[in-house]
Amino acid sequence: MGTEVEVSEPLILPDDKVGVVESDDHDQIPEWKDQITIRGLVVSALMGTLFCIITHKLNLTVGIIPSLNVAAGLLGFFFVKSWTGFLSKLGLSVKPFTRQENTVIQTCVVACYGLAFSGGFGSYLLAMDERTYKLIGPDYPGNRAEDVINPGLWWMMGFLFVVSFLGIFSLVPLRKVMVLDYKLTYPSGTATAMLINSFHTNSGAELAGKQVNCLGKYLSLSLCWSCFKWFFSGIGDSCGFDNFPSLGLTLYKNTFYFDFSPTYVGCGLICPHIVNCSVLLGAIISWGLLWPFVSKHAGDWYPADLGSNDFKGLYGYKVFIAISLILGDGLYNLIKIIAITVKEMCNKTTKNSKLPIVNEVQADPETSKLLVEHKIRDEIFLKDRIPTLFAASGYVGLAAISTAIIPMIFPPLKWYLVLISYVIAPVLAFCNSYGTGLTDWNLASTYGKIGLFIFASLVGTDGGVVAGLAACGVMMSIVSTAADLMQDFKTGYLTLSSAKSMFVSQLIGTAMGCVIAPLTFWLFWTAFDIGSPDGPYKAPYAVIFREMAILGIEGFSELPKHCLAICVGFFVAALVINLLKDVTPNNISQFIPIPMAMAVPFYIGAYFAIDMFVGTVILYVWERINRKSSEDFAGAVASGLICGDGIWTIPSAILSIFKINPPICMYFGPSLSR
């Protein structure tokens, strides 16, 4: 990604592939207000609820969340087409379903479920709760009972409302610069536009219908399987298919087993092969080699009589080594993307002259058609302007409200610290949005972690943990939503959608997310034992984020023996692996693992790595047998598996709330010797 050719070459190519819109479509492009419809908003709310549940489930179990944009596009198309088809059969006249309305739905849904991640329900907000405090230990230096704020539905909604909209206003004046002047690729936004444009052609609509049928079939299978599994899961955390020792009892003790989870198999189908293989490699290194080695030194490196979740023992090694890998990977990519951004901006003039834009001297029909396409896209994109004064006023006004309210929710984060965050946030939002446009890497969580360390150390021992975690949330929200908005502007540009409709739909989706994300989290919080290290919802990043805040205050003095040396080794290894990935040829670098993905199983366990690897093996074989079929339907199969399992979470939570337990406990143990 770091070379000039790799950055610049895709800049215009996606526009050619996005689907040349028929000329008679241009006369039928609806006004921006007509692109936002009641039916579209209803569908967005339903899909936003489902995707928030899926995101929470992944966030609270493994912390890996694949892109659900394909599923959002497909389901949006399916719901509205079904709606219009049903009303047409009743003899009622219906407005045609346009690519612009499809884009608005996509934008709304992504903005809504994005808050389930950036809202910190599995990371910085949950890190403040009493369970995480007790898990680290009341006697652990820097871990104070005063730094506990338990989740509450109303204050979480209020917090999201005061922080989530600023990112949308922060970069609106730069939309022309980012999309038209710099011609940034925004690969995910471009891919989404390709998907939506393909739905609204005759051949594309036929394929979309087949994809929706495929998604529905696997959604039903996944839902039925999840329901079937529930009957055998008993009471406690050791029953059922989720604890099936498929690779034998010895490996099961080291968390190596296939747990029959449709969600993780679906993630394996969506995530690139290298991500899945990296996760498995991380599981083998940690649970296969490192933890058994460290365990042999119990009594020497750490007291042998400690509990399994004591930070002074093996648990401390698990958490801190995972943190070192995450920070090493995040820091390297942050520096790399800032360097690429600076280089691109410094060479902008030279770069523009090298851009593979079609030469206007050429007069062949295809060239003329492309030039007309670009001209029409530019005109539509610039037609409905969002006044700079409005955006600036919105940002300043929201920042003022937020500066007053956030210290009421989190008293250690003083108003002047919040104000400082909002002064520097637009600069960080620009860096992240520009970097995302070039490389498709959204580093919002890395910027959040940097804010966490800085503000925790600034405030110190008296409230530094809460202040750091809250500041992390402020940074993550602004930086993440700003990058999402620019992705949406790129999608809107390529689907001939109004920039104003993109902006408004992002606002509406964010407002939906501020309500739906806390409500769906509250379903989990009420029904399940969130944060239990022995349960299915471990919330791994809650402990990691709280430990990061404590590290920002206390330093490294309380780590177990040799833990710091091992952490430094893995931190350096993360930097070196990333460097090798960038300097080696592509035919070699494609096989080099990703440290961020390797870090996840270090703390959680190897079971989900097995599931994801099964998904990647299925996809690999499918690609070898029929690549075209795999390209067309793998995303639909994966989305169906993930959505079906996600839907079952709702009745499962309701049963749990009403204390209705599964009737059977299927348990496996060693056979008794005669």
Of residues 357 and 189, more confidently modeled = 189
pLDDT average, residue stretch 124-128: 93
pLDDT average, residue stretch 182-206: 78
The confidence band for 128, taking pLDDT boundaries of 50, 70 and 90, is: very high
Give residue 16's pLDDT: 43
The token duo for 304 is 């042998």
Of residues 537 and 71, more confidently modeled = 537
Which of 82-91, 152-161, 320-329 tops mean pLDDT? 152-161
Give residue 360's pLDDT: 41
Q: Which among 539, 490, 394, 499 is positioned nearest to 59, based on CA atoms?
A: 539
pLDDT average, residue stretch 523-547: 86
The confidence band for 38, taking pLDDT boundaries of 50, 70 and 90, is: very high
pLDDT over 50 (residue 546): yes
The confidence band for 558, taking pLDDT boundaries of 50, 70 and 90, is: low
Q: Is 574 exposed, middle or buried (0-12, 13-18, 19+ CB in 10 A)?
A: buried
Q: For residues 167 and 429, is the Cβ–Cβ distance under 8 A?
A: yes
The confidence band for 572, taking pLDDT boundaries of 50, 70 and 90, is: very high
Of 36-45, 194-203, 527-536, 629-638, the least confident: 194-203
Give residue 164's pLDDT: 92
The confidence band for 289, taking pLDDT boundaries of 50, 70 and 90, is: very high
Of 20-34, 36-50, 106-120, 434-448, the least confident: 20-34
Spatial neighbors of 656 by CB under 8 A, at least 6 apart, are 527, 528
Residue type, 546: R
Of residues 134 and 336, more confidently modeled = 134
Cα dihedral 282, 283, 284, 289 sign: positive
Residue carrying structure tokens 């339907």: 633
Give residue 439's pLDDT: 61
Residue type, 191: A
pLDDT average, residue stretch 21-33: 63
pLDDT average, residue stretch 177-198: 78
Spatial neighbors of 231 by CB under 8 A, at least 6 apart, are 662, 663, 664
Give residue 672's pLDDT: 65
Give residue 358's pLDDT: 37
Distance CA 117, CA 59 (A): 7
Of 93-107, 340-354, 393-407, 528-542, the least confident: 340-354
pTM: 0.79
The token duo for 635 is 């995303």
pLDDT over 90 (residue 288): yes
Cα distances from 267 to residues 287, 636, 671, in angstroms, run 21, 12, 35
Give residue 7's pLDDT: 28
The confidence band for 2, taking pLDDT boundaries of 50, 70 and 90, is: very low
Give residue 141's pLDDT: 83
Give residue 397's pLDDT: 95
Task: Give the Cβ contact number of residue 121 at 10 Å.
Answer: 29
pLDDT over 50 (residue 303): yes
Q: For residues 571 and 596, is the Cβ–Cβ distance under 8 A?
A: no
pLDDT average, residue stretch 389-404: 93
DSSP string, 494-505: HTT--HHHHHHH
Digit-coded pLDDT (tens) for 653-665: 888 878 888 888 8
The Cα angle at residue 168 between residues 162 and 174, in degrees rounded to 5:
145
Q: Which among 230, 185, 145 is positioned nearest to 651, based on CA atoms?
A: 230
pLDDT over 50 (residue 409): yes
The confidence band for 356, taking pLDDT boundaries of 50, 70 and 90, is: very low
The confidence band for 357, taking pLDDT boundaries of 50, 70 and 90, is: very low
b/e per residue 453-467 (b: at least 16 CB within 10 A): bbbbbbbeeebbbbb
pLDDT over 90 (residue 341): no
The runs of H, that is alpha helices, within 63-174 are 69-89, 99-118, 130-136, 153-163, 166-170
Please state, for a pLDDT cut of 70, what percent of the chain lies above it: 90
Residue carrying structure tokens 């994966």: 638
Digit-coded pLDDT (tens) for 609-649: 999 899 999 999 999 999 999 988 888 888 888 888 888 88
Average pLDDT of the residues of the chain = 83
Of 267-271, 463-467, 509-513, the least confident: 267-271
3-state secondary structure of 581: helix
Give residue 13's pLDDT: 35
Spatial neighbors of 332 by CB under 8 A, at least 6 apart, are 574, 575, 578, 579
The token duo for 92 is 């009622």
What's the 3-state SS for 453-480? HHHHHHHCCCCHHHHHHHHHHHHHHHHH
